[in-house]
Amino acid sequence: MKDEYRRRLTQLLGDSVSFDQQICAAYDHDLGEMPGVLMAQIKACPTAVVVPKTTQDVVKALTFAGETGTPVTPRGQASSGFGGAIPTRGGLLLDLSSLNRVLAVDQEAMTVDVEPGVVWQGLSKELQRCGLDNRICPTSAPSATVGGWFAMGGVGIGSLRYGSVADVVEEIDVVGLDGRTVTCRGDRMQPYYQTCGSLGIITRLRLKCRKAEALRPYAIEFPDAFSLQAFMQEAIRSFDIDTAILHSDGYVAMRKAAGGHHSLAKGHFLAILAIPESQADDAKLALLTKMHKGEQFSEQVAREEWGDRFYPMRIKKVGPTVLVGEFYLPVDNFAAAWEEIAGDLSRDCIGMEALAISKSELTVLVYLPECSKDLLYPVRMAKAVRPAAIARRHGGRPYTAGMWFAAESKEVLGKAKYAGYRRLKKELDPENLLNPGKIVAPGMRWLPILNLGTVVHLGSALASPFARFLSYRGKGPSPSGEHHEH
């Protein structure tokens, strides 16, 4: 049976499929580092890896999977750490990174059609040749793919002006397990947004673009979180800001330890704004900055900071592992929430990066360097959920689900969308073959009556009170901001 399985796949896909064990093992993880005891609960290593060269290859792979009852896990660059691109039942791993063509640019309509494996930064360069540019992109733009970001649900650079990736995508082509391709627009796209490719594989996306325009960057230092919050509340109302990025002193210290070039005084914050040249008003911004006790850096520093916007995860160099907590938080509650988070994790080296994604909300990432080789790492991991728990008390909400946070899927998607997703999943994929174990968590291999999402959720909640007393053990800046090795 095994030989027949391989023969049929090879006959269908030729050199686009590989059964090599080393190649398959390279796909059993993403950017996150999870304890072995959790990884042992799933079959993370695929049986075969398919690297489709054309949309027709995707159709062939999915048709084969549907006919043989084989699980399929779609993967872009796996640039997030939420487990959305990790197999849970082996099967086929569909590496879509080679479907990376820009199919068509419509300069008049200001749209672009792309394959799912197109990388955001490369797309920007391609569009600029036509006088256009991306409306939004992730901070991981040098590696993240368009299809992957849509499937996970993303906000990022430019979201303050243009919204989420769902607001930018006009239509998609999706292939199902029956091999049929459907084109979805408007509300029909919504089930495929944030659901990790578990209803179908996206093979084309049409994105709205903007005219290429110069953005003027500003870098401003603030003495405390409340001054920064007050400035942001007024700046967002007063200026047509494309992007607003906020950094804590701890994050800047991590970045400097990893090869960055600036530092902040202890307890201070950095705001990086990008405003269209046509809308920039230096005098007005300078007055607002002064009103809120800010100090503006030189234009050169501002351009350097803006140029570094795409490299947040280089701070992994100071870890060697970095725990990441991500959540949404109201702008109005930022300062109170951050002071509580910083106090709660005062034994740690803690960094914060936030982006304003609307006039009322931020997406916040909290970074905690750690060492995955430590015996107590599974307990230490629980520290990453503490900031999100504190944020909830200040009106925050979870960012995304994937596999590791599947217990929060209903809250991430909303009750109505979650219920609709469950109905559609039963209709389109009754055997749960398309990226199983993501929105609904996989069962535990050693204890099938429990699912992995619930175990992660409850385990983190139980370990969290103890984890905060485990002092920082990483390499890099200490909690006091001084750089040293432990």
CATH 3.90.1150.10 fits domain 215-376+470-485: no
**Mean pLDDT over residues 55-68, rounded?**
96
The pair phi, psi for residue 167, each rounded to 5°, is: -80, -15
Distance CA 9, CA 273 (A): 51
Q: What is the pLDDT of residue 472?
A: 64
What pLDDT is stored for residue 480 in this prediction? 45
Where are the alpha helices (H) located in 33-177, listed in sequence order?
36-39, 55-68, 120-128, 146-152, 159-162, 165-168
The string of pLDDT tens digits covering residues 389-436 is: 999 999 999 998 888 888 899 999 999 999 999 999 999 999 999 999
- Residue 375: φ, ψ to 5°: -60, -35
Answer whether 403's CB lies under 8 Å from 412's CB: no
Domain ranges of the chain: 2-97, 101-211, 215-376+470-485, 406-459
SS (H, E, C) 181-198: EEEEEHHHHHHHCCCCCC
Q: CA 443 to CA 436: how far, in whole Å?
A: 10
The residue with tokens 């050169």 is 300
**Minimal CA–CA distance to 322: which of 269, 406, 257, 262?**
257
**pLDDT score for 255:** 86
**Overall CATH class of domain 101-211:** alpha beta
Report, as an integer, the average pLDDT of 300-324: 82
| pLDDT per residue as tens digits for the range 74-114 | 999 888 878 889 999 999 999 999 999 999 999 999 999 99
Residue 419, token pair as written in the block? 């219920």
| pLDDT attached to residue 448 | 75
What pLDDT sits at residue 475? 56
Give dist(CA 317, CA 331) in Å, integer.
30
- Predicted confidence (pLDDT) at residue 173 exceeds the cutoff of 90: yes
Q: Which residues of 192-226 are buried (b: 16+ CB within 10 A; e: fewer)?
A: bbbbbbbbbbbbbbbbbbbeeeebbbbbbbbbebb
Give this prediction's pTM: 0.92
pLDDT at 167: 97
pLDDT band at 486; cut points 50, 70, 90 = very low
Which pLDDT does position 78 carry in this prediction? 86
Q: What residues contact residue 70 under an 8 Å CB cut-off, 6+ apart?
A: 47, 64, 91, 92, 433
Report residue 133 as tokens. 């540019």
More confident residue, 325 or 206: 206
5-47 pLDDT tens trace: 899 999 999 999 999 999 999 999 988 778 788 888 999 999 9
Tell me the per-residue pLDDT of 282-291, one tens digit each, with 9 for 90 and over.
Answer: 999 999 999 9
347 vs 394, residue with greater confidence: 394
| Percent of the chain scoring above 70 in pLDDT | 96
Burial class from Cβ neighbours inside 10 Å (0-12, 13-18, 19+) for residue 263 reads middle
For residue 482, the model assigns a pLDDT of 46
Residue pair 345/368 in contact (Cβ under 8 Å)? The answer is yes
Instruction: Judge whether 478 and 254 are in contact, CB under 8 Å.
Output: no
Residue 485 has pLDDT above 50, yes or no: no
SS3 239: coil
Q: Indicate the fold that domain 2-97 takes in CATH.
A: 3.30.43
> Is the distance from CB of 369 to CB of 479 less than 8 angstroms?
no
